[in-house]
Amino acid sequence: MPGELAFAPGPAGRGFAQASSGSVGDGTAGPAPGPGFRRPAALGCIRLAALLLALGCLAGTLWEGLDDRGIALAFGVLVGIGEWARWTGAEVREAAPLGAAGGLAYALLGAYAGVATHDGAFQVVTVVCAASLLGSVPHIASGRRPTLDHLARRVLTVGFAAVCFQPLYSRGVLEQWGGPAYALLLVALLVLTALCDAVLAAGQAHSRTGWPFGPLLRDELRGLLGIGSAVCATGAVMALAVAVVGLWALPVFCLPLLLTQLSLRRYAAVRATYRQTIASLARATEIAGYTPAGHARRVATLSQAVGRDLGLSQAELTVLEYAALMHDIGQLSLVDPMPAGATAGLPAAEQRRIALLGGAVVRQTGVDAAVAVVVERQADPYREQPVAARIVRAVNAYEEKARDSGPGGPLTALEELRLATAGDYAPEVVESLARVLSRDCLTLRAAG
**CATH number of the domain enclosing 331:** 1.10.3210.10
Task: Write down the pLDDT at residue 19.
Answer: 33
Q: What is the mean pLDDT of residues 180-194?
A: 86
User: Which of 117-131, 190-204, 276-290 is least confident?
Assistant: 276-290
Domain end marker among 224, 240, 270: 270
Mean pLDDT of 358-376: 83
Q: Are residues 194 and 74 in the same domain?
A: yes
Higher pLDDT, 57 or 368: 57
Please tell me whether residues 91 and 235 are part of one structural domain.
Answer: yes
Same domain, 265 and 287: no
Residue type, 388: A
Stretch 52-56: mean pLDDT, rounded?
93
Q: What is the pLDDT of residues 309-321, one digit of tens each?
A: 888 888 888 899 9
Residues 380 and 47: their CA atoms lie apart, in Å, by: 48
pTM: 0.73
Q: Give domain status of residue 277, yes or no.
A: no
Give the separation between CA 444 and CA 181, rounded to whole angstroms: 59
Distance CA 359, CA 369 (A): 9
Residue 327 lies in a domain: yes
Residue pair 17/35 in contact by the 8 Å Cβ criterion? yes
What pLDDT does residue 410 have?
Answer: 79
Q: What is the mean pLDDT of residues 248-252?
A: 86
* Per-residue pLDDT reduced to its tens digit, 216-240: 888 888 878 777 888 888 888 888 8
CA quadruple 198, 50, 123, 162: dihedral, nearest 10 = -30
Examine the domain organization and report whether 209 and 297 are in the same domain.
no
The boundaries of the domain holding residue 127 are: 39-270
Check residue 344 and give its pLDDT.
Answer: 65
In the listed set 228, 246, 270, which residue is the last one of a domain according to the structure?
Answer: 270
Give mean pLDDT, residues 251-264.
80
Mean pLDDT (the chain) is 78
With CA atoms as reference, report the closest residue to 382 among 436, 342, 432, 422: 422
Instruction: Please provide the DSSP assignment of 208-233 as one string.
Output: HH---HHHHHHHHHHHIIIIIHHHHH
Regarding whether 217 and 179 lie in a shared domain, the answer is: yes
Same domain, 389 and 417: yes
Give a yes or no: residue 21 inside a domain: no
pLDDT the model gives residue 188: 87
Same domain, yes or no, for 307 and 256? no
State how many domains the chain has: 2
- Higher local confidence (pLDDT), 17 or 83: 83
The model's confidence at residue 15, banded by pLDDT at 50, 70 and 90, is very low
Confidence bin at 24 (pLDDT 50/70/90):
very low
The pLDDT score that the predictor gives to residue 20 is 33
Residue 23 belongs to some domain of the structure = no
Q: Do 261 and 366 fall into the same domain?
A: no
Q: What is the CA radius of gyration of the chain?
A: 26
12 and 149 within one domain? no
13-27, 124-138, 162-176, 390-404: which has the minimum mean pLDDT?
13-27
Instruction: Flag whether pLDDT at 28 surpasses 90.
Output: no
Is 279's pLDDT higher than 70?
yes
**Helix/strand/coil for 116:** strand
Q: Are residues 220 and 99 in the same domain?
A: yes
Express each pLDDT in 127-147 by its tens digit: 999 999 998 888 777 776 567
313 shares a domain with 208: no
Residue that terminates a domain, selected from 270, 295, 320: 270
Percent of the chain with pLDDT over 70: 81
In a domain, 111, yes or no: yes
Q: Is the pLDDT of residue 59 over 90?
A: yes
Q: Using 50, 70 and 90 to split pLDDT, how confident is the model at 126?
A: very high
> Is residue 236 domain-resident?
yes
Residue 278 lies in a domain: no
Which range among 6-15, 186-195, 354-363, 431-440 has the greatest average pLDDT? 186-195
- The single-letter code of the amino acid at 39 is R
Q: Determine how many CB atoms are found less than 10 A away from the CB of residue 258.
A: 15
In a domain, 29, yes or no: no
190, 235 contact by CB (below 8 A): yes
Shared-domain flag, residues 213 and 338: no
> Which pLDDT score, from 0 to 100, does residue 221 have?
86
